[in-house]
Structures are given as C-alpha cells and as structure tokens.
Amino acid sequence: MRRREVIALFGGAAVTLLRPVAARAQQSGGMRRVGVLIGTAESDPESKRRVDALVGGLHDAGWIVGRNIRLDYRFSSGDPDSMRRYAMEIVDLKPDVIVVHSNDFLAALLQAGSPIPTVFAQIGDPVGSGFVESLAHPGGNLTGFTTFESEIGGKWLQTLKEFAPSMTRALVLFDAKIAANRAYFHAAETAAAALGITVTASALQDPSEFENAIGSFGEGPTGGLVVLPSPLTGVNREQIIALAAKHRMPAIYAFRFFAASGGLLSYGVDTGDLYRRAASYVDRILKGAKPAELPVQEPTKFDLVINLKTAKALGLDIPSALLTRADEVIE
C-alpha cells in the first residue's frame, strides 16, 4: 500500500498539499495537524465515506483543510504489521490530535506509546477491551465514539432468527485478536439456547480461512451466518458475501456497507455519523479540552437494512412486519 503524508481527498473534500516543513512552521500561527488512522484500504468506498464525514464535521466547526488544519492519513487493509508501522509513523509526525478507526488500529497505536490526544471512532466495547477506564471518565489521553457493547451479539443472532425461522445452527465469524469480538460471541452463545440455535465459533486470522470455514459449515442444513465487525471481515466482505450466497446461508452483518454489497441484512450504527461526531471532539481538543474530560459516547440509533434481492435469491419470504420495521430496504 502506498504511503501518503497528505492526501488530496475524495470528491468535495479536497485537501491542499503542503510541504511538511512549511506546515509545521505555520502551526503556531493557526495551522493545526491531525493524524488519521483508518483500518480499510484507501480505495475502499467506505474509507471515502469516513473521511468525507470527518472532513465535513471539521468544516462545520470552522476547520478548513489547507487553511487552518492539515490532515495526515494512513490506511491499512486489516494487516497487523502495516497497522503497527502506520501508527508509529503518525506518532512520529507529532500531530495535535489523532483520530483512529477500529479496535486493531487503536491497539497498535497504544502499543506505539503515543502521548498524543486521541479520538477513536467505530470502536467496540472500549471498557471491556481495556482501552478506557469507563465511558463517563475515560482517563488518560483517549476518548471517542463506540459502536457496540457486548450484548449486541445476542441481538444479531435474534434478528437473523426472525428472518430465517428455520435456522437451528449459526456460524459466528470473528477475529480472536479483538476482545470485543470475543465478548460479542459469548453474548450470542448466551442467547442461543432460548432461540433454539446451536452456535459454532470460527476464529479467523487470514482471508484464506474463510472458504473452508463457511464451506464446511454450509454443508449442513438450516445454517446461518453471523459476521462480527473487524477490519478482517470488513476488508474481505465481498468474499464473505459471495460464500454465504454460494452456500445459501442467510447472514447478518454489523454495518450497512455489507448489505449494500449484497449481504442479506445488517443491524448497526451509521458509520458516517460516528466520524462527524468525532470531528466535534477533535474541535474541542484543539481548543483546549482534555480527552479525559470528554466522556466516551455511545451510538443513539441503530439501523436495520435489508437487501430484498438477496432475500429473494435465498428463497426467504420476509414478513411485511419486518419490512416495515426496516430503516432501509435495498431492492
């Protein structure tokens, strides 16, 4: 992946390229610097969505890229080595604030020993993962915006069962390196008995493992798939969705971009909203607030998105009550 110190970014959010020395010289006169770590590839449309939302939120707060703020980006498509390397690169740039996406990238940043005020977005279970002391009082130099608490694992399984009532088995795909993923799986296990479902865990670390895991499970009848959120599953969503379709398995995902890519349904937060809100914390820190004084904020709304075309391909007759409950139906 190509390194970028500053990127002329995406559509309406153009970034004026500045020489590093000149930018640092201007900082005392008003030019501030923000490092941004995103755990998806630069070419991924979801990366564009996140960056556009962050830049738009900063613009609304009066921070104009190239005029009074400079953004340094690093993108990693789920590779742990690149995450560690890019985290260290951003720390070495000594920005005023760092914005970081994903549990993996945040863990890499903390391993780099960063003393820089940091705002996270799209982080799952930050207390259980050991990132912050509590939501109300995060402590240290870290705060931000969460996606899910551990109980969501049971909700995903329950929602999938509503869409596929005949399902008696569920395969849960997750990244064992992420503490939040382990918590989501345990919540799904707890909910499974009451739903009449046997849950099987598949802890994966490499995309090459997807085909065997899904294919082996898909050989049996009445199976479903729960895909937990991580850079590994997000970056490789096209492969996972194709395998679910090949084996005719109903599947639920954590984010809308899975359903938009052909997944059956998603239940989760609006990722763009998280980055717009993260921009408000960047603004407050640049104006003197300390991360420890800013409570970690949880999502206020969860969206149910149904891909009707995929449902028809799987032969699922979605009840009208569920379609009415959906926030979005993709046809």
Specify the DSSP element, H or E, that contains 25.
Answer: helix 20-27
Give me the pLDDT at residue 320, please. 87
Terminal CA-CA length for the chain: 34
Asked whether 309 and 331 are in contact (CB, 8 A), the reply is yes
Weakest mean pLDDT among 22-26, 111-115, 139-143, 152-156: 22-26
Asked whether 169 and 222 are in contact (CB, 8 A), the reply is yes
DSSP E strand stretches across the chain: 32-38, 69-75, 97-101, 118-123, 142-146, 169-174, 198-203, 223-227, 251-253, 265-268, 303-307, 328-330
Higher pLDDT, 12 or 146: 146
For residue range 153-177, what is the model confidence (pLDDT) as tens digits? 999 999 999 999 999 999 999 988 8
Give me the pLDDT at residue 149, please. 86
> 20 pLDDT exceeds 90?
no
Residues in contact with 235: Cβ distance below 8 Å, sequence separation at least 6, in sequence order: 39, 40, 41, 44, 77, 78
Asked whether 118 and 142 are in contact (CB, 8 A), the reply is yes
> 268 pLDDT exceeds 80?
yes
CB-neighbour burial class of residue 214 (10 A; exposed 0-12, middle 13-18, buried 19+)? buried
Confidence category of residue 8, pLDDT binned at 50, 70, 90: very low
Q: What is the overall mean pLDDT for the chain?
A: 89
Give me the pLDDT at residue 172, please. 97
> 27 pLDDT exceeds 50?
no
Give me the pLDDT at residue 84, please. 95
Confidence category of residue 94, pLDDT binned at 50, 70, 90: very high
How far apart CA 232 and CA 208 sit, in angstroms, is: 11
Confidence category of residue 287, pLDDT binned at 50, 70, 90: very high
Percent of the chain with pLDDT over 70: 91
Domains in the chain: ranges and CATH: 20-147+271-293 (3.40.50.2300), 152-268+302-330 (3.40.50.2300)
Mean pLDDT score, 189-202: 96
Give me the pLDDT at residue 21, please. 33
> 95 pLDDT exceeds 90?
yes
Give me the pLDDT at residue 206, please. 86
Both tokens of 286, joined, read 């640049």
> 56 pLDDT exceeds 60?
yes
Give me the pLDDT at residue 22, please. 35
- pTM score, whole prediction: 0.84
Give me the pLDDT at residue 13, please. 38
> 47 pLDDT exceeds 60?
yes
Percent of the chain with pLDDT over 90: 77
> 70 pLDDT exceeds 80?
yes
Confidence category of residue 25, pLDDT binned at 50, 70, 90: very low
Alpha-helix residue ranges (DSSP H) falling in 208-307: 210-218, 231-235, 237-246, 256-260, 271-286
